[in-house]
């Protein structure tokens, strides 16, 4: 059972300490409700670009080499991520280095220099990242399915943004975005793992006080009704990358519904015993990779199916994937596959939570995206408690006719 304490600092930033037994590591993570869905149209790509820029240095560690070398001297793993919902920065170190790690992270993230010269250099780096993704058909398929499902809505745009935006961003615009979105009230700081070397005398609060006090930002644009568009990027390849997206009628604000949705997606295509894997791969031999995954956004539940397969087999696989969703909608799952998927989902969560970074990322989503309890044990208990009837209800909530479709390969839209 973890020991969890929480407080709100004078700058509005919630600070959570999650003490986990049996680990020598500690993860420090700070995150904000400042992901890609909070960008204005002309800002698309700015949240991710800002994530890159803060690593160039703060006040004390005022150069990227000082940031990187300090992390290495601690034996730390330092990284960040930007999603549609969040931007987050995290470092995992041995417990004895906790305070030094907090000092480093709060310096360059809480008071970044955002040097104009570094900004110009980093543009090229991020543009190369965008170009790399364009060379990866599977990544292009991910971008296409978001656009097919949500069109011009922020959720339909890429997190990386278009190249022309990266070339146009000014330092002033980036600072303005940070001041508009990185408010403590819509963020959180998390210290997770072995916190024996983290004092309770106010030193930690002082370091996290480096983040400025900012007004609460406006709410993001709500998730729209799912479009049913079909988008194909034709490429003369032997393998195709297929994606389908549904928006189930699920109350994402209910933790029990989210847990049931997770188990549904697992029995559909989240394990080697799932329906998609067993039939599409094992029985029919149509592909090497086929899967289903659920995404819990702040205000919507999303179900995505995907496959990477020989192009000539794409029509058959596509038809059968849609039929399997329809069969679950019509007939429901079996009690045996629900029981197996529930055990698998809970077991995977237990194994994931052996990693302090995974617990910290989970806590950030719980606190900032959903405004809920961050206890990892409750996440496991929620999966264990899901009933057959709850999963059957989820299956009925997935409209088999309401799907967006995307594919990269030698196909035409009419094939879908």
DSSP state at residue 63: S
- At 93 the three-state DSSP class reads strand
Q: What would the pLDDT profile of 27-55 be if each residue is shown by its tens digit? A: 999 999 999 999 999 999 999 999 999 99
Cα dist. 137→134, 243, 259 in Å?
Answer: 7, 12, 31
Stretches where the chain sits below pLDDT 50 are none
Domains and their CATH numbers in the chain:
3-208 (3.30.830.10), 230-415 (3.30.830.10)
Query: Could you say which DSSP state residue 114 is in?
Result: -
For the chain, how many residues are written? 416
Residue 230 is predicted with a pLDDT of 98
CA 343 – CA 17 distance, rounded (Å): 29
Give the pLDDT score at 382: 97
DSSP label at residue 33: S
The model's pTM is: 0.96
Crossing angle for the helix pair 376-384 and 356-364, nearest 10 degrees?
Answer: 80
- Give the integer Cα–Cα distance in Å for 84 and 389: 31
Residue 251 and residue 208: Cα distance in Å, rounded?
34
Q: DSSP assignment of 176-223, as one string?
A: HHHHHH--GGGEEEEEEE--TTS-SSSHHHHHHTTSPP-PPPPPPPPP
- Confidence at residue 106, expressed as pLDDT on a 0 to 100 scale: 98
């Amino acid at each position: 059972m973890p020991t969890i304490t929480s407080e709100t600092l004078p700058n509005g930033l919630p600070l959570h300490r999650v003490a986990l037994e049996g680990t020598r590591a500690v993860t420090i993570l700070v995150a904000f409700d400042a992901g890609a869905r909070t960008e204005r149209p002309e800002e698309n790509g700015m949240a991710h670009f800002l994530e890159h820029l803060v690593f160039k240095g703060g006040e004390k560690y005022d150069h990227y080499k000082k940031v990187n070398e300090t992390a290495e001297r601690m034996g730390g793993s330092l990284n960040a991520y930007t999603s549609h919902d969040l931007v987050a920065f995290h470092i995992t170190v041995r417990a004895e280095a906790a305070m030094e790690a907090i000092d480093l992270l709060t310096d360059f993230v809480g008071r970044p220099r955002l040097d104009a010269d570094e900004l110009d250099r980093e543009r090229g780096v991020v543009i190369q990242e965008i170009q790399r993704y364009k060379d990866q058909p599977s990544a292009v398929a991910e971008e296409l399915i978001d656009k097919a499902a949500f069109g011009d809505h922020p959720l339909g745009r890429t997190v990386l943004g278009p190249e022309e935006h990266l070339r146009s961003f000014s330092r002033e615009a980036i600072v303005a975005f940070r001041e508009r979105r990185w408010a403590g009230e819509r963020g959180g700081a998390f210290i997770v793992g072995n916190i024996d070397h983290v004092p309770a005398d106010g030193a930690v609060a002082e370091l996290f006080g480096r983040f400025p006090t900012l007004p609460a930002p406006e709410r993001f644009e709500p998730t729209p009704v799912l479009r049913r568009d079909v988008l194909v990027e034709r490429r003369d390849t032997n393998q195709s990358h297929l994606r389908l997206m549904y928006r189930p009628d699920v109350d994402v604000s209910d933790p029990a519904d989210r847990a049931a949705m997770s188990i549904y997606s697992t029995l559909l295509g989240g394990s080697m015993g799932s329906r998609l894997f067993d039939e599409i791969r094992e029985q029919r031999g149509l592909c090497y990779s086929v899967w289903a995954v659920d995404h819990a956004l702040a205000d919507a539940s999303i179900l995505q199916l995907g496959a990477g397969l020989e192009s000539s087999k794409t029509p058959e696989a596509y038809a059968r994937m849609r039929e399997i969703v329809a069969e679950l909608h019509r007939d429901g799952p079996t009690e045996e596959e629900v029981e197996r998927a529930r055990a698998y989902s809970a077991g995977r969560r237990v194994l994931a939570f052996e990693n302090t970074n995974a617990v910290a990322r989970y806590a950030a989503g719980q606190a900032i995206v959903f405004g809920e309890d961050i206890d990892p044990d409750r996440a496991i208990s929620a999966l264990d408690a899901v009933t057959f009837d709850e999963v059957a209800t989820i299956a009925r909530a997935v409209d088999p006719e309401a799907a967006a479709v995307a594919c990269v390969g030698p196909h035409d839209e009419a094939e879908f």
